[in-house]
Amino acid sequence: MSLRELAESDLAITLEDPAGFGWAITLINPAGTAASLRGQSTDISQIIDPDTGQVVSGRLAAVTIRVASLAAAGLTLPQGIAGAESKPWLVGFDDINGQAYTFKVAESNPDRALGVVTCLLEAYNG
Amino acid sequence: MAELTSLIDKQDSFEIVRDQLAAILATETAAQQALATAGGEDPLLWKLRVYSERSNPWEQFLNGPADKSPLVNVWYDNSNFIEAGSSVSERQKTAGTFNIDCYGYGEAADVVGGGHNPGDREAALIVQRALRLVRNIFMAAPYTYLGLRGLVWQRWIKSITVFQPGMDNRSVQQIVGARVSMGVTFNELAPQVEADTLEYVAIDILRAEDGEIVAEADFDYTA
């Protein structure tokens, strides 16, 4: 096994281990197929600059998921859906206090060398 | 020795104009909401949350967004003094610029019939709705002089600029900002020399039975 293959297999520990930072994440594709996965999630405050010179307090949320787990769940790589005629890819996870949130995948950044995909999220009222 | 013997406790005209701009917006958006309610429309579509001279981050806008109506911030930007229309002593004709910044918050939402409503477009449409309200309110005929006739020469929207959200703003929320640059020409007034009284002049005005006005000059002097 090459070092790259070893790194990918280690994702089961470094990314998905519930005893580590692995966090329960629900991923739903535009067709409505849902999968329960484990990965890393973040939801922190962020400053938004609308270019008016005055900033707005906002949030930055993202998840990182193992690509092999996506395939095993029967899902393809998520992507940001710009068109209004389609349902978006949705991501759901709880914060550390058990409050559930649902987001739309705004941008998907796959790392095909390591086998992970990081999705930048957007608030979704579903 | 100080030449000014009275306290400068007045507001300058740019402060009066700035406050008047905010007051007009707050008054008219409330009136528009009342009209919308009376007409069976959703009043929130006519709601603006108006602030003046704010520089802190908009905290409650996103971290408790129960109210998603657009924000408006009125702030004074600059003044240019026009010599040609001014007097050297008392009155300076002033071309001031006031920025009216609008912020729209959009959230992607599910559409029951199919598809979804993208948050970036929603934010753009909301801020454009705010721009529509602001422009129509200030350019309405009753506000030709912003309700300050005698102080304000004219008001004119110089430009409207919508800012594209930066690529680094990977936020959960979709925010679009826009600026209405409002030019207002007005008089700035300065403290004057307090003149000594030379003479008191009293004039009695009498009205005759037939309506004729008869003025009687009565000079009371001490010399």
**How large is the ipTM?**
0.82
User: Within a 13 Å sphere around the CA of B35, how many CA atoms are in the beta-carbon half?
Assistant: 9
Say if residue B161's pLDDT is above 80: yes
Are B172 and A55 within 8 A, CB to CB? no
Looking at residue B46, its pLDDT comes to: 97
List domains and CATH numbers for chain B.
13-189 (3.30.2000.10)
Confidence of residue A89 (pLDDT cuts 50, 70, 90): very high
Q: Please tell me the distance from the alpha carbon of residue B222 to that of residue A67, in angstroms, as a whole number.
A: 103
Query: Phi first, then psi: what are they for B131, rounded to 5°?
Result: -60, -40
Q: Is the pLDDT of residue A42 over 80?
A: yes
Residue B31 has pLDDT above 90, yes or no: yes
Report the mean per-residue pLDDT for chain A: 91
Q: Which residues of B touch A83 (CB under 8 A)?
A: 115
Domain ranges of chain A: 3-123
Contact A88 B108 (CB under 8 A): yes
Q: What is the mean pLDDT of residues A70-87?
A: 93
Residue A104 pLDDT > 80, yes or no? yes
Contact across the interface for B172 and A60, Cβ inside 8 Å:
yes
- Average pLDDT of chain B is 88
Q: Is pLDDT at A90 greater than 70 in this prediction?
A: yes
pLDDT at B218: 65
Dist CA B141 CA B133 (whole Å) = 14
> pLDDT at position A62, please?
94
With a threshold of 0.80, does the pTM exceed it?
yes
pLDDT of residue A50: 80
Q: Is A79 on the interface with B (CB under 8 A)?
A: no
C-alpha count within 13 angstroms, C-beta hemisphere, residue A37: 31
Q: Please report, rounded to a whole number, the percentage of residues in chain B having pLDDT higher than 70.
A: 88
